[in-house]
Structures are given as structure tokens and as C-alpha cells.
Structure 1
Amino acid sequence: MQTALRTILPDSGRAERASSVPQARVTREEQPVLSRGLPLNIRGLRKAFGDHEVLCGIDLHIPAGQFVAIVGKSGCGKSTLLRLIAGLESIDAGSITFDEQARPEDVRVMFQEPRLLPWARVLANVQVGLGRDRASADAHGRAEHALTEVGLAEKRGQWPSVLSGGQKQRVALARALVSNPRVLAFDEPLGALDALTRISMQRLLERVWCDQGFTAILVTHDVSEAVALADRVLVIEDGRIAHDVTVHVPRPRERGSADLAALEGSILRHLLSGDERS
């Protein structure tokens, strides 16, 4: 069987439920036995902007269906790594390989800003995520299903301007989910939300990941968010993976538990150790 059918090599990158969410308990056992996600291999990945090398030879393997969080100080290269994985930037050296055939629509990104089209109603905004399949006979039904997944079916005919910040992000999530991605990259999607809405969105992200089995890659500044959601937390420092932590805490995870607090404290100490040395 031929493998590595979607490989990004130098210069070949391609540019591109808040309060109403049911709070079902999520367990690892609810995940599909056979994950829909794609495994990811990165070898010798380098990226520079001008004279500044942002990523300095990243080597990384992410198994299919794993939830990985990437944390680090501002400017450490975590968002650049995510954009390279998503094909939104070209790489300078090394390779990014999915171990089986992948289509462009198999990899989707959810950004911090919802990026909704203000002249299109909610359902039409979700259909944008179908790309060329927007003209297909089942496009409307798929968009309806995605909105139901994020608890916004009743908002299908609304304009984005009347939605709350959390609702806009749920529409953005539905748009990312509508094409049934096998890799979903999150670039700090909850950073602009208030605390309670953020927790609700975290639970929603966890639920759809368990339901759909995609490989999830989350970039966040919030270490508590990382340990609450991820199977594994990567700390990026000076363009390299400085710390790789497996989160063994079983799901459902209780926010504020001693186990999560201990993990969070360990990662924060690592992140802040450089400040203490300087």
C-alpha cells in the first residue's frame, strides 16, 4: 500500500454550544474504535521569516485521532507550526506527511476570529465550508446537520451581526465540521470569549472530537485549557519542542481538579523557568 501521498515539501504549501449546549459527559470510551483522523509525521521542519528562523528543525509524530495542544510564549512559533500543518504557509526545509491519502478538504482550520461573511445568513456561512461541494444536492442538509451538532439549528436564518461572540464561534466551528475533516486545527479559537462561554466551547470542542474522531491540533496561550482538552501537550520554545507531556487524566475531566492543576503547574514552571534565569 502506498503511503505518504500528501506530503508538503519546500515551497509546495497551499494558501488556503454556549448556554444551550447539552453538557453530556464525555468519556474516552465514546471515541470511535477506528479513528477517522489522519496520522501526521513532521521531519526536520524549518521556517524562517527573513533572517529570523521561527522553527528550527521540528520532528514530531501525531497518531491518528489524538488531541494535541501546543503552548508557548508569544512568538515561539506555535501558530506558524499550525499554519504549516494546515498548508497555509510554505515550508523552507523538511517535510509534513500524512500517512495515507488526504484530500484538501480533510484538513480544516478554525481561527480566533469567526471570519463570517456579514452579507450571508448563518446557514450559508456554514455551507462555505463545503467548498466546491456547495452546489451538491446534499449541501443544505449537511450544513443543517453541522449547525445541529453545535446547537445552533434555530439560528440558521439569522444574520451574523445579531449573534453573540460565542454563537459566532459555534457557526465557525460548524463551518469547519461540515466537510467532515480528518484533521482539525484550532488557532486560539476561544481566546476572545468570556470565561463561562469559553468553558462551554471547550466542552463542545471535546464532544465533537469524541463524536467524530478527527485528529485535533489546538494552539492556545491557556495552559489550563490545554490540559483540560488534550491527550498531549507540546511546549514550543525557541522554535523547538522543549517539552512533550502526556495527559493521563481520564475523561470526563473535572476543571480545577488536583491532577489537572498539578499538570498545569508543571508546564507553567517550565514556561516561566527562562524568565527566572534571565
Structure 2
Amino acid sequence: MQQALRFLSPDAEPVDPPDIIEQARLAQRGSETVSRGLPLTIRGLRKSFGDNQVLRGIDLHIPAGQFVAIVGRSGCGKSTLLRLIAGLDTIDAGTVSFGEETRPEDVRVMFQEPRLLPWARVLSNVEVGLGRDRASSDAQGRAKKALAEVGLEDKSGQWPAVLSGGQKQRVALARALVSDPRVLAFDEPLGALDALTRISMQRLLERVWRDQAFTAILVTHDVAEAVALADRVLVIEDGQIAHDVHVELPRPRRRGSADLAALEGAILRDLLQSGDEPSDL
């Protein structure tokens, strides 16, 4: 059973589970600013790998410009859902639509590994994100602008091997941003970073999302990260959306605050009650 939880304070009461139209109305409250992002509607989404049914009929609406985090135990289907949204895997049943025709550069993914080309300098790695526009006359200028957005304009001539882990992820983020995406999907992009670098990267992700107003979808194992960044937190259990948590707390959010701790605790309790952890997918 899909549930929608709406948190205004640590002791807020849950609301009744909405249908997808009501879900969209509630979700829109988290995206009041004008957005260039794309809306996303998913209906009856299913995906299996052999006999293993990973997604069991996902219904979801994400308004344009909203920041959504997806959490759940390993193997629950959250990364599979992200890959289907990004068009990286084929859908068995159901639909994923963005409200209008999209171009390849409209939807980008940032992975946990930077996936930089070791034989190319930083600027060239960012230019890769332009795809077919890489040969355009303004390609280098756009790549330099993207590097400036992530604070690495002085590293454009460096080789990836000399960068720190956090710097490599900033380059990967610049590569994702250079094509001006309208939907940016993050698949555990900060999971391998140390704690301080991770917090710094979280702040950077939030800043570029606010500046560029794209629709953001973040898969993460870190519930604290989810409630700190997202307008909504979706909890996936057994291939379905078990909880839909609307985070109506003002930004910037103070990490360690009572409200964030209450949200994190509520989500963790749900996850801990969902059974034994299966293998990764």
C-alpha cells in the first residue's frame, strides 16, 4: 500500500493515501518557484530481471523543478527506477512521460563513480557531456562555464588523476550540467566521499539545483542526505512506493535540527521494519 506522509513538524499527522492526481497536487506545494525542469509522470511501471520482479507497478507524479530523493534497502528497486526514468534500461510494462517531447540532452545522469576519461584533461571531460554539440563553436565556452559553476574553473587543464575524489565528482557534475539538462538524476553520487566532502557536495548540489531550476531525482542510502536536500522522500519497499514523505521545511536546512532528525527517524523506522535486506540490484 502506497502511503503519503506530510511532515510540518516532528509530531505531524499522516494524511490518507492519495491517488496519482491528488499526489500531484500535494507534490506541487514543494515547487512553487518558476522552473525550467520537466514534469514526470509514471504509471504502472514494472520491471523484472528473469524471475525477479523488481518494480511492481509504480505510479508517481513529480512536478517540474521538484527535488525528489528515493531511499530504500539495497535491492528494493530504487536504482532500477532511476535507470528506467533516464532511459538506460527498457521498461517491461507501464509508461514514463515528461509531458512533452524530450531531447537526449534534457535528461542526464550522475553516477557514484565519476567515470572520467583518464586520457583527457578536465575541460575535455566536461565537453563530453555536450554529446553531438561537442563540435559547436561555443563548446569550450560552455564547458568553462559549467566548471565555474562547480568551482573548478582553475582545474580545466589538469588531468583527472591529480584530482581529489570530491574534485572528480565536481567534474562529473559539470559534465552533467554542461548540456543544460531539464531533468538531472543522481545515482548515489556522493556515496564514496568522506563525510566533510560529502556535506560540501550536498550544498553544491542544492545550489546548482536552485540556480538552474531543473527537476532533480536523487537515489541515496543516506536518509539524512535525503531529508536535507529533497522536497519529497520516496521510500521504496518490495518494488513499490511504500511512503511518500513531503518535506515542508524551509531552506537552507540546518543539519542536526530537531525537525530534520524527526523526519530522518521516522523514515529509518519504516526502513528497519521492512524486513531483511536483500542483495543489491
Assess same fold via TM > 0.5: yes
The TM-score with structure 1 as length reference comes to 0.87
Separation (CA, whole Å) in 2 of partners of 1:182 and 1:130: 14
Task: Tell me which residue corresponds to 2:6.
Answer: none
Task: Tell me which residue corresponds to 1:6.
Answer: none
Task: Tell me which residue corresponds to 1:116.
Answer: 116
Q: Which runs of 5+ in 2 are unaligned?
A: 1-30, 277-281
Is 1:218 matched with 2:218? yes
Q: Deviations over 1:209-241 (max 9, x none)?
A: 000000000000000000000000000000000
Is 1:169 matched with 2:148? no
Separation (CA, whole Å) in 1 of partners of 2:253 and 2:70: 19
Question: Would the alpha carbon gap of residues 32 and 181 (structure 1) be closer, same or farther in structure 2, given more than 3 Å must change?
Answer: farther
Question: Would the alpha carbon gap of residues 213 and 185 (structure 1) be closer, same or farther in structure 2, given more than 3 Å must change?
Answer: same
CA-CA distance at 1:32 after TM superposition: 8.9
Task: Tell me which residue corresponds to 1:53.
Answer: 53
Separation (CA, whole Å) in 1 of partners of 2:250 and 2:32: 16
Task: Tell me which residue corresponds to 1:273.
Answer: 273
Whether the aligned pair in 1 keeps the contact of 2:107 and 2:182 (CA below 8 Å) is: yes
Whether the aligned pair in 1 keeps the contact of 2:188 and 2:218 (CA below 8 Å) is: yes
- Return the letter of the residue paired with 1:228: A
CA-CA distance at 1:39 after TM superposition: 0.1
State the identity %.
82
Task: Tell me which residue corresponds to 1:200.
Answer: 200
Whether the aligned pair in 2 keeps the contact of 1:42 and 1:97 (CA below 8 Å) is: yes
Structure 1's consecutive aligned runs of 4 or more residues displaced over 3 angstroms after TM superposition are: none
Secondary structure of 2:273 counterpart = helix
Whether the aligned pair in 2 keeps the contact of 1:32 and 1:210 (CA below 8 Å) is: no
1:84-123 correspondence runs (5 A): 84-123=84-123
Separation (CA, whole Å) in 1 of partners of 2:223 and 2:157: 36
Whether the aligned pair in 1 keeps the contact of 2:69 and 2:219 (CA below 8 Å) is: yes
1:14-33 correspondence runs (5 A): 33=33
Separation (CA, whole Å) in 2 of partners of 1:32 and 1:101: 23
Task: Tell me which residue corresponds to 1:11.
Answer: none
Q: Which runs of 5+ in 1 are unaligned?
A: 1-30
Separation (CA, whole Å) in 1 of partners of 2:251 and 2:65: 15
Whether the aligned pair in 2 keeps the contact of 1:32 and 1:213 (CA below 8 Å) is: no
Question: Would the alpha carbon gap of residues 126 and 102 (structure 1) be closer, same or farther in structure 2, given more than 3 Å must change?
Answer: same
- Return the letter of the residue paired with 1:256: G
CA-CA distance at 1:34 after TM superposition: 2.0
Whether the aligned pair in 2 keeps the contact of 1:32 and 1:212 (CA below 8 Å) is: no
Is 1:248 matched with 2:248? yes
Q: Deviations over 1:159-178 (max 9, x none)?
A: 00000000000000000000
How many residues of Structure 1 are paired with residues of Structure 2 in the alignment? 246
Whether the aligned pair in 2 keeps the contact of 1:226 and 1:233 (CA below 8 Å) is: yes
CA-CA distance at 1:243 after TM superposition: 0.4
Is 1:239 matched with 2:235? no
1:130-169 correspondence runs (5 A): 130-169=130-169
CA-CA distance at 1:33 after TM superposition: 3.7
Whether the aligned pair in 1 keeps the contact of 2:237 and 2:274 (CA below 8 Å) is: no
Q: Deviations over 1:142-200 (max 9, x none)?
A: 00000000000000000000000000000000000000000000000000000000000
Task: Tell me which residue corresponds to 1:83.
Answer: 83
Whether the aligned pair in 1 keeps the contact of 2:46 and 2:57 (CA below 8 Å) is: yes
Secondary structure of 1:274 counterpart = coil
Task: Tell me which residue corresponds to 2:191.
Answer: 191
Separation (CA, whole Å) in 2 of partners of 1:146 and 1:51: 43
Separation (CA, whole Å) in 2 of partners of 1:32 and 1:198: 27
The TM-score with structure 2 as length reference comes to 0.86
Separation (CA, whole Å) in 2 of partners of 1:191 and 1:33: 29
